[in-house]
Amino acid sequence: QVQLVESGGGLVQPGGSLRLSCTASGFTWDTYAIGWFRQAPGKEREGVSCISSRDGSTYYADSVKGRFTISRDNAKNTVYLQMNSLKPEDTAVYYCAMGRTWLTLEALPYNYWGQGTQVTVSS
């Protein structure tokens, strides 16, 4: 059973930073994608960023481009999402997801999901 464990969420003031972590276990694949998604109350789930385990290629939603950075540590099976210059609009539950897929911010190709971690940006 694949398991994704997230950490790093919390409360931060506008303009602040947080780093989310997602560690995967229970799989043997060498090639996969890990994506970060978020969902705010009353809004659709939104793809934020994703990264390839094979070559480190990345993709970002326009809403976070230039502020968020996704990175990987394959030895630890861990993906990070560094979030800088946070805005109240970034407030959401953030989910880590994994799939044997191409880089995409569509949710459907991702087979496994973490439990979600709350990020709140407020003064």
Least Cα distance to 99 among 43, 8, 7, 37 occurs for 37
CA 122, CA 100: separation in Å to the nearest integer? 36
Q: What is the mean pLDDT of the chain?
A: 96
CB 71, CB 80: distance < 8 Å: yes
For residue 109, pLDDT beyond 90:
yes
DSSP class of residue 63 equals: T
pLDDT (tens digit, 9 = 90+) per residue, 40-73? 999 999 999 999 988 999 999 999 999 999 999 9
Q: What is the mean pLDDT of residues 80-89?
A: 98
CA atoms within 13 A on the CB side of 111: 11
What length does the chain have?
123
**Amino acid at position 25, single letter:** S
Q: What is the pLDDT of residue 29?
A: 84
For residue 1, the SS3 value is coil
CB 28, CB 13: distance < 8 Å: no
